[in-house]
Amino acid sequence: MKWRVASLLLFSAVLLGTTQCYYDDARTLYGTTPCDTAAVTWTADIQPLFQAQCAGCHGAISPGGGLSLINYSQISAASLNGSCMNRIQMPAGSPMAMPPNGSLTSCQKAKIRTWIRQGALQN
Ligand code: HEC
């Protein structure tokens, strides 16, 4: 009898524990903020991203592959003709992947993709 009471208590405790502390938002489950591509802009997202991830090699002097990616007209042109997305989407470790160390997160790729789909605007 005692055993039954104890197991019933334990069961209720577990049930309470699981129901009361149940969070199903992405931040709690995955420890990250969900990727927000709703309002991607050149100024807030794309320009700083290319500056940090691409300009080091694709600068003004002897840029990688002869491609400078330091200002809007260069970046939008290489984005609209498909070459940036083509390289960015290649799996990390592939010899043509950009950046070569595969450091772009899937959220950063999604933001670039969204910006290009929306016309690669200087917004
Ligand atoms: C560590 C240096 C480095 C970084 C960082 C880097 N690249 Fe490159 N990239 C190169 C080199 C070197 C080449 C030429 C060799 C090749 O085609 O793979 C190249 C080639 C390219 C090409 C092809 C150019 C052409 O016309 O053939 C594209 C597009 C490109 N990179 C885009 C990017 C983008 C976008 C980023 C940032 C997300 C980036 N790269 C970051 C070194 C880099």
Please give the number of the atom of ligand 1 that sits closest to the Cα of 95. Answer: 18
Token reading at 7: 């197991």
Q: What is the mean pLDDT of the chain?
A: 87
pTM over 0.85: no
CB count in 10 Å sphere of residue 76: 19
Centre of ligand 1 from the C-alpha of residue 22, in Å: 44
Contact residues for 107 (Cβ-Cβ < 8 A; gap 6+): 35, 37
CA dist., res. 114 & res. 49, Å (int): 14
Q: Which of 49, 51, 57 to mutate to test the pocket of ligand 1 (most atoms within 8 A of CB)?
A: 57
| Burial category of 12 from C-beta neighbours within 10 Å (exposed 0-12, middle 13-18, buried 19 and up) | exposed
3 pLDDT above the threshold of 90: no
**With a 6 A CB cut-off, is 54 part of the ligand 1 pocket?**
yes
49 pLDDT above the threshold of 90: yes
What is the tens place of the pLDDT at every residue in 52-97?
999 999 999 999 999 999 999 999 999 999 999 999 999 888 999 9
Q: Which of 47, 67, 84 to mutate to test the pocket of ligand 1 (most atoms within 8 A of CB)?
A: 67
